[in-house]
Amino acid sequence: MVSEQECYNALILSRVGFFHLPAILKLLDKMGSATEVVEHSKEIREMLPDASDRLLALFQDLDEPKRRAAAEMAFCQEHQIKVLTMGDEAYPQRLKECADAPIALFFRGNTDLNAGHVINIVGTRKVTQYGRDLISRFVSELRELCPETLIFSGLAYGVDIVAHRAALEKGFDTIGVLAHGLDEIYPRAHRETAISMIAQGGLLTEYFSHTKADKINFVRRNRIVAGCADATVIVESAAHGGGLITCGLARSYNRDVFAFPGAIGQPYSEGCNNLIRDNGAMLLTSAHDLVKAMGWEDSSLLHRAQKQGIERTLFPNLSEEELQIVEALHSNGDMQLSPLSVQASLPVARLSALLFEMEMKGVVRIIAGGTYHLLG
């Protein structure tokens, strides 16, 4: 568990380096923790010989960042908000793999951000009835195939809010990534849905309280929507829009992108159709298409098998990667996804897929707290 002091120092770095993220992340990687960076802020040139003058200038006066960080820590404690730093196991590990991951995140909710399967659903703010029907059908199908999937979106008008509400209705946990602090909900019309999400998913942001929902913040938060997920699903989009930005970010992170096609000539189908035409997204017609393309079929089979009381196959044949996981669990005992990823030397996304296969074979079992236990 990350200490309160490390959270405080991570917030200081968030304030100092908000517009200089690559340099701060490089420094953080070099020195190992936010606390080390802050405590040696006058010795950065010694720690990082190639540090730029601009980077050094950021640390000349830390009074304001320290004051703001202390105030935010108090705000979070008062409102049951978790501060997630990169050293925290609860920090989204898929996002951590991205070069522009936030130094710290604020989370209010009750779900595991490192679920085995994570998607986001994005698209136009002017969703049509066609788009609403697609989302409803897709989420219903996904519930039957992969009921443990975590669904991200941005709590905005249109596709976002329709996706969140469909997820809640079908029993999925769903995460809203905000473009402002957790002291308010924007748009206010979505407040009731947001409150429901806190009990069935959560709200996530990199922004301090009292941050206005400026246009640039919505663009910036899209990298979190894209980076936290294994796959991006775009439902409807004009030729230009925020959903397409999220798709571009997802591809830059080597994540899969899927698009529902629309009628030729319809303005809010143009963006999706163009993506499919230009090989920027895979054609999506159903949840089954997604499950098959992502290699999540074993998860689907496991779900059906468990409903029938079949939880183990005899004499499972294990691959080399699966043996790495077995060895890691045998040597270290029960582990959550993030530390297991490190011990088994496997990326989180690949590890998640393998664990589902191994669960079906009866080799591992997930227990309380998202911890994996080796059977036998």
One digit per residue, the tens of pLDDT, for the chain of length 376 reads 789 999 999 999 999 988 788 888 988 988 899 999 999 988 888 887 887 888 888 888 899 999 999 999 999 999 999 999 999 999 999 999 999 999 999 999 999 999 999 999 999 999 999 999 999 999 999 999 999 999 999 999 999 999 999 999 999 999 999 999 999 999 999 999 999 999 999 999 999 999 999 999 999 999 999 999 999 999 999 999 999 999 999 999 999 999 999 999 899 999 999 999 999 999 999 999 999 999 887 665 655 555 554 344 444 578 889 988 988 888 888 888 988 998 999 998 899 999 988 888 888 888 877 888 888 6
240: exposed, middle or buried (Cβ count in 10 Å: 0-12, 13-18, 19+): exposed
Q: Looking at the DSSP assignment, which residues form a beta bridge with residue 104?
A: 85
For the chain, the structural domain boundaries read 4-90, 118-294, 297-374
Question: Are 316 and 362 within 8 A, CB to CB?
Answer: yes
Q: What's the CATH code, domain 118-294?
A: 3.40.50.450
Cα–Cα dist 213/104, whole Å: 18
Look at residue 366 in the predicted model and tell me its pLDDT: 85
* Alpha carbon distance 348, 318 (integer Å): 19
pTM of the model: 0.80
Distance (Å, whole) CA 320 – CA 355: 13
Q: Residue 51 is encoded by which pair of tokens?
A: 């540090």
What is the model's pLDDT at position 309?
A: 47
CA 45 to chain CA centroid, Å, is 34
Q: Please report the pLDDT score of residue 299 as a whole number.
A: 61
pLDDT of residue 302: 55
Q: Are strands 364-367 and 371-374 parallel, antiparallel or unpaired?
A: antiparallel
Q: For position 254, what pLDDT does the model report?
A: 94
Q: Are 351 and 341 in contact (CB under 8 A)?
A: yes
Q: What does CATH list as the number for 297-374?
A: 1.10.10.10
Backbone φ, ψ for residue 346 (5° rounding): -130, 140
